[in-house]
Amino acid sequence: MNLFDVYPLNDITIVKAKGSYVWDDKGEQYLDLYGGHAVISIGHTHPHWVQRIEEQLEKIAFYSNSIRIPLQQQLAEKLGKVSGKEDYQLFLCNSGAEANENALKLASFHNGRKKIVAFSKSFHGRTSLAVSATDNKNYIAPVNETDNVIFLPLNDEQALEACFKKNGKQISSVIIEGIQGVGGINVAENSFLQKIRQLCDEYGAVYIADSIQCGYGRSGKFFSHDFAGVSADIYTMAKGMGNGFPVAGIIIAPHIKPKYFQLGTTFGGNHLACAAALAVLEVIEEEKLLGNTATVGFYLREELKKIPQLKNVRGRGLMIGFDVPEELKDLKKNLLFNQKIFTGEAKPNVIRLLPSLALRKRDAEQFIEAIKEEVAAPSNSPKGGEQASTQSQLV
Ligand SMILES: Cc1ncc(COP(=O)(O)O)c(C=O)c1O
């Protein structure tokens, strides 16, 4: 049997990983500023995370949600404390798309409405409702087409007000990434998030903060929406939550009440996933990773801004993007094959940095030196003749 060929691959086989570094099967070391697409939060194979998972594996890995799983309650309490959302309620699932699917569905159960407001360049996942709220026609199959999603330009308060005036009580939810990831690192302005909060309150709509890529400390605050000083009704999270162990969840404001069977999952919240997620939060707290993210992220952005060829350096914390001009179109490939540094990209010309929140300043310095070298002497193909396929927007 062959694999279903939907991913353009780099010809690299990673066999080992530690902290912000990975090694291939030839022993070559790479600096990982991509984190497997923003997944590695506390660093690859963090010893505490490994130990927590190993210990749990020896006891019990899985049982379904038909029995008490105290680890879920421990996780809820820890997440409430670290995120500052102690009065919210946690529902656990397995992936980002599933988290958004549950959030959109729950909003609709809550207010009995059908319309969803989403924004240009949004990405919310590949499943039915999540992909319908994603602004990329290539991902939407005919079966996912719906009139229920209204797309508006990001950060356009007038368009948002007009939309609420027109559709008012039909709008079930507004779903927004605090910082768009796949769309190219576009920051939602504080005043825009405040306007969403105000209009959702006025019209009884549910504010869903897609924090799957920009959340879990990546922006330097636990949720990037925190910068605006507003609370969403539902936050969705995945990626960094398990540091590579598949676990996702939504947290739900207290005014939205649960009803039996509205949401459900077989694997969500299993013992092993909870152990991994607890380990991540323990390390975030213990190692003060939010502070590190803000400091190292600031350093990176400031240094990148000094490189004249790189345009529009943007982002928050360790979620950073910049535009590269046409003559540097191979920059990402060259960083990978010449400098042995993984970065991410967003089509057509954006490089994205999504490293571990534990990235050290000296790793950031290594990257700055490397990118300066590549920018000073751009080559059209990687040195050494590697077969570099274009790694596109893997999500
Ligand atoms: C903002 C955002 N939402 C949702 C998703 C979907 O997550 P998953 O791939 O785990 O389904 C992603 C994945 O990249 C994302 O970046």
Q: Could you report the per-residue pLDDT of 184-205, keeping only the tens digit for each?
A: 999 999 999 999 999 999 999 9
Instruction: Looking at the structure, tell me whether residues 278 and 300 fall in a common domain.
Output: no
Taking only the tens place, the pLDDT of each residue in 311-365 is 999 999 999 999 999 999 999 999 999 999 999 999 889 999 999 999 999 999 9
Residue 136 lies in a domain: yes
Instruction: Looking at the structure, tell me whether residues 229 and 302 fall in a common domain.
Output: no
Residue 20 lies in a domain: no
> Which pLDDT does position 387 carry in this prediction?
41
Give the separation between CA 323 and CA 319, rounded to whole angstroms.
Answer: 14
Which residue's alpha carbon is nearest to atom 7 within ligand 1?
96
Ligand 1 pocket residue status of 394, Cβ below 6 Å: no
Which residue's alpha carbon is nearest to atom 13 within ligand 1?
395
Q: Tokens 């719906």 map to which residue? A: 146
- The number of the ligand 1 atom at minimal distance from the alpha carbon of 130 is 4
Ligand 1 pocket residue status of 96, Cβ below 6 Å: yes
| Nearest partner of 345 among 287, 392, 288, 291, judged by Cα | 392
> Which pLDDT does position 383 carry in this prediction?
55
Instruction: Looking at the structure, tell me whether residues 147 and 189 fall in a common domain.
Output: yes
Instruction: Looking at the structure, tell me whether residues 165 and 301 fall in a common domain.
Output: no
Give the CA distances from residue 40 to residues 82, 186, 222, 341, in Å, rounded to whole numbers and listed in that order.
18, 21, 15, 15
Q: Is 64 left (phi over 0), alpha (psi -120 to 50) or beta?
A: beta
Instruction: Looking at the structure, tell me whether residues 188 and 221 fall in a common domain.
Output: yes
> Which pLDDT does position 381 carry in this prediction?
56
Residue 140 lies in a domain: yes
User: Would you state the torsion angle of the CA atoms of residues 258, 260, 264, 268, taken in this order, to the nearest 10 degrees?
Assistant: 70
Which of 236, 269, 286 lies at the terminal end of a domain, its last residue?
A: 286
User: Strands 186-187 and 149-152, how do they pair?
Assistant: unpaired
Give the separation between CA 42 and CA 110, rounded to whole angstroms.
Answer: 35
- The number of the ligand 1 atom at minimal distance from the alpha carbon of 180 is 1
Q: Domain residues for 337?
A: 288-355+365-380
Residue 71 lies in a domain: yes
> Which pLDDT does position 377 carry in this prediction?
82
Residue 256 lies in a domain: yes
At residue 391 the predicted structure's pLDDT band, cuts being 50, 70 and 90, is very low
Which residue's alpha carbon is nearest to atom 8 within ligand 1?
96
Beta carbons of 251 and 207 less than 8 angstroms apart: no
pLDDT greater at residue 367 or residue 387 = 367
Give the separation between CA 130 and CA 238, rounded to whole angstroms.
Answer: 14
- The number of the ligand 1 atom at minimal distance from the alpha carbon of 127 is 11
Which of 231, 263, 286 lies at the terminal end of a domain, its last residue?
A: 286
Instruction: Looking at the structure, tell me whether residues 245 and 322 fall in a common domain.
Output: no
Note the pTM of the prediction, 2 decimals: 0.96
Backbone torsions φ then ψ of 19, nearest 5 degrees: 60, -120
Residue 394 lies in a domain: no
Residue 274 pLDDT > 60: yes
Instruction: Looking at the structure, tell me whether residues 274 and 300 fall in a common domain.
Output: no
Taking only the tens place, the pLDDT of each residue in 69-93 is 999 999 999 999 999 999 999 999 9
> Which pLDDT does position 384 carry in this prediction?
45
Give the separation between CA 239 and CA 100, rounded to whole angstroms.
Answer: 13
Q: Please state the domain count of the chain.
A: 2
* Percent of all residues in the chain with a pLDDT value above 90, rounded to a whole number: 94
Instruction: Looking at the structure, tell me whether residues 274 and 320 fall in a common domain.
Output: no
Instruction: Looking at the structure, tell me whether residues 217 and 269 fall in a common domain.
Output: yes
Ligand 1 pocket residue status of 330, Cβ below 6 Å: no
CA 130 to centroid of ligand 1, rounded, Å: 9
**Side chain identity at 118, as an amino acid letter?**
A
Beta carbons of 176 and 209 less than 8 angstroms apart: yes
* Residues contacting residue 182 through CB under 8 Å, at least 6 positions apart: 121, 123, 136, 213, 346, 393, 395
Beta carbons of 236 and 122 less than 8 angstroms apart: no
Average pLDDT over the chain reads 95
- The number of the ligand 1 atom at minimal distance from the alpha carbon of 248 is 10
Residue 369 lies in a domain: yes
Ligand 1 pocket residue status of 210, Cβ below 6 Å: yes
Which of 286, 318, 338 lies at the terminal end of a domain, its last residue?
A: 286
Instruction: Looking at the structure, tell me whether residues 294 and 221 fall in a common domain.
Output: no
> Which pLDDT does position 394 carry in this prediction?
42
| Nearest partner of 355 among 116, 21, 6, judged by Cα | 21
Please tell me the number of Cα atoms within 13 Å of 169 on its side-chain side.
1
CATH number, domain containing residue 336? 3.90.1150.10
Report CA torsion sign: 79, 84, 89, 93. Answer: negative
At residue 385 the predicted structure's pLDDT band, cuts being 50, 70 and 90, is very low
> Which pLDDT does position 347 carry in this prediction?
83
CATH number, domain containing residue 217? 3.40.640.10
The C-alpha R_g of the chain, in whole angstroms, comes to 21
Instruction: Looking at the structure, tell me whether residues 102 and 135 fall in a common domain.
Output: yes
* Residues contacting residue 6 through CB under 8 Å, at least 6 positions apart: none
Instruction: Looking at the structure, tell me whether residues 312 and 326 fall in a common domain.
Output: yes
Taking only the tens place, the pLDDT of each residue in 236-255 is 999 999 999 999 999 999 99
> Which pLDDT does position 348 carry in this prediction?
87
Residue 304 lies in a domain: yes
Taking only the tens place, the pLDDT of each residue in 123-163 is 999 999 999 999 999 999 999 999 999 999 999 999 999 99
> Which pLDDT does position 41 carry in this prediction?
98
